[in-house]
Structure 1
Amino acid sequence: MEPIKILMTQLREIARGSIELLPQIAVALFVLLFTIGLNKLIGFLVDRVLARTKLRPSLKELFSLLSSMLVWILGLMIAAVIVFPGLTPSSILAGLGIGSVAIGFAFKDVFENFLAGIIILFRREMRIGDFIECEGIEGEVEHIAIRESHIQQTDGQLVIVPNSILFKNPVTIRTHQSSRRMTVICGVAYDVDVDEAREVISEAVATCESVLQGDKPIQIFAQEFASSSINFEVTWWCGSKPVEVRASRDEVVATVKRALDDANIEIPFPYRTLTFKEPLPIAQTEEN
């Protein structure tokens, strides 16, 4: 019977302690309810303030999330101190510090991507709608979140890239400016007048609708003496989006080809001459 008496005594002590804590628990619940209301109010005010700024939507979400976390941390700390008077804010922060070290080691990659996402969100260079290339991944930036970014490739596939990759590796932003310089190589035969060929190519490129002119000059340079042609480096400016680049290259190549044909300027192709050391025997046909 002695164990049963000890158990009953312990249960009575637990019940007595719980009853004594009821006022503190009630106050703590009130603090939590107040925290919920305060969180909604601060969230509403933060959204109103951020709506007047030109920050990215993902960056606005980050500020809203941080403000909400701050309110909840303060509310939970106050409720814990009320229920357990022995706790102090310094002891809670010390416990959080020790716990954060363990959590940091366990979720190293998650925090790395989180911090990289914050830095990327504050950058102005990479925006939603930009076409980028990083580590063999090329496409349009559709979304930048705290942990990851969504890249829509030109073939329709969606790539979800951890932000740490975009932060630690070089990123080429192909649409950082609205125009991009393009270059193709065009060869003409050796018996063609170089100045005439340059003029024909320049006039042909200038007629292309996709070629930007004005402060973006068209440049034609004789580049090299190739094996069967004199090669020109043809340079112009066009739109920076991938589809604009492909369309402009197609238009320029086709237009230059037609212009050279109309001017009777040969675009040479490799010739192959076969030389035999011994004369080849010619088969004799028998006459009937």
Structure 2
Amino acid sequence: MTSSTTTTAPGEAFDRTVNTVGTLQDTLVGMAEGFIATLPNLAIGVVVLIITWLVAKFAVRIADRITGKTDIRPSLKNLIDTLVKLGIWLVGLMAALVVMMPGFTPASVIAGLGIGAVAIGFAFQDIFENFLAGVLIMLREKMRIGDVIECEGISGKVEHITLRETYVRKLSGEVTLVPNSMLFKNPVQILTDETQRRHEIMAGVSYDTDLDHAAKVIRSSVESCEAVDTDKGIDIFANEFGDSSVNFKVRWWSGSKPRDMWESTDQVVRAIKRGLDDAGIEIPFPYITHTFKERVPMGNEPGEPSTGS
């Protein structure tokens, strides 16, 4: 049995090495030539992007000037500015891509979006949901910037509305970034939808008081407060039999802002206390009566030893 070995001549190995180097060199030269050939297109694409930026900036100024002459809400004004800027940038980016890549067409973009729409929708579901919720929040009439709202335990003043989130400034100063979908899907209580709203407190008088007289005293006391809008009426209702008092529910109209509520409540409580004191009507403390099954000795009773010294 014979074995044969194949040997490569030094000349053949050298030729292969030279061919590999030559191929790599040709590839690099081709890439460089291609890059140089595309430089004009890249430069034109950059120019298109710069023009797009300038046009978008100028268009937003025009939109601001047009909307500034109307009574449009600030949130809707922000939406118009965003849509104008977004539309111009989409057109500009598409034009730049067509210039830089001649084989690129708007039809291919649409086809690509159609193929990946489902995957993108699942991947960015929360982002799209907040985006659409932000658009709808800006379009609806209620909940303007500056309103005080309450939603899902969050309360404060609406400071800014974007396409993804709403900035709610707490009355204590902190800001909460609330996803728009939360404000759109859940009930939102707008405390400052009107300039005034109704406030109420409970005021109690002793059981031996003439309730008609007490109601007149409370009404006149509330009417004397500057923060109370007497034109909208004041309600004084005998509401319940409490543990130590008959309680009146006192309702009045004042400013809708939280500060207005606290100021008017302060004035009303002070005025009622002063009025009832002047009329000699008791505002009773809570009384507690203890009942014992057996007689409890009080002090030194007959038959008991004296505790004196």
- The equivalences for 1:109-188 within 5 A come to 109-188=126-205
Q: CA deviation at 1:34?
A: 4.3
Aligned residues between the structures: 287
**In the alignment, structure 1 residue 253 sits paired with structure 2 residue 300:** no
Specify the code of the residue in structure 2 equivalent to 1:113: N
User: Of 197, 201, 205, which aligns to 2:222?
Assistant: 205
- Separation in 2, partners of 1:277, 1:40: 87
Deviations 1:192-212 (A, max 9, x none): 222111111111111111111
- Give the 3 Å change call, closer, same or farther, for CA 62–98 of structure 1 in structure 2: farther
Q: CA deviation at 1:173?
A: 0.8
- Give the 3 Å change call, closer, same or farther, for CA 21–269 of structure 1 in structure 2: closer
- Give the 3 Å change call, closer, same or farther, for CA 163–33 of structure 1 in structure 2: closer
User: Of 283, 289, 295, which aligns to 1:267?
Assistant: 283
- Give the 3 Å change call, closer, same or farther, for CA 72–190 of structure 1 in structure 2: closer
Specify the code of the residue in structure 2 equivalent to 1:136: G
Moved over 6 A (4+): none
**In the alignment, structure 1 residue 68 sits paired with structure 2 residue 85:** yes
- Separation in 1, partners of 2:267, 2:93: 65
Which residue in 2 is equivalent to 1:280? 296
- Give the 3 Å change call, closer, same or farther, for CA 100–54 of structure 1 in structure 2: farther
Higher alpha-carbon Rg: 2
Aligned alpha-carbon RMSD (Å): 2.6
- 8 Å contact from structure 1 (residues 58, 146) kept in 2: no
TM score, norm. by length of structure 1 = 0.86
Specify the code of the residue in structure 2 equivalent to 1:125: K
Q: CA deviation at 1:18?
A: 4.3
- 8 Å contact from structure 2 (residues 74, 145) kept in 1: no
TM score, norm. by length of structure 2 = 0.81
1:139 aligns to what SS in structure 2? Answer: strand
Deviations 1:9-42 (A, max 9, x none): 3334434544554565555455445434443443
- Give the 3 Å change call, closer, same or farther, for CA 159–81 of structure 1 in structure 2: closer
User: Of 113, 119, 124, which aligns to 1:102?
Assistant: 119
**In the alignment, structure 1 residue 237 sits paired with structure 2 residue 253:** yes
Specify the code of the residue in structure 2 equivalent to 1:225: F
- Give the 3 Å change call, closer, same or farther, for CA 15–280 of structure 1 in structure 2: closer
**In the alignment, structure 1 residue 48 sits paired with structure 2 residue 69:** no
Specify the code of the residue in structure 2 equivalent to 1:181: R
- Give the 3 Å change call, closer, same or farther, for CA 249–116 of structure 1 in structure 2: same
- The equivalences for 1:3-42 within 5 A come to 3-18=20-35, 20-21=37-38, 24-25=41-42, 27-29=44-46, 31-42=48-59
More moved, 66-75 vs 126-135: 66-75
More moved, 262-271 vs 75-84: 75-84
- Separation in 2, partners of 1:287, 1:182: 59
Q: CA deviation at 1:217?
A: 0.6
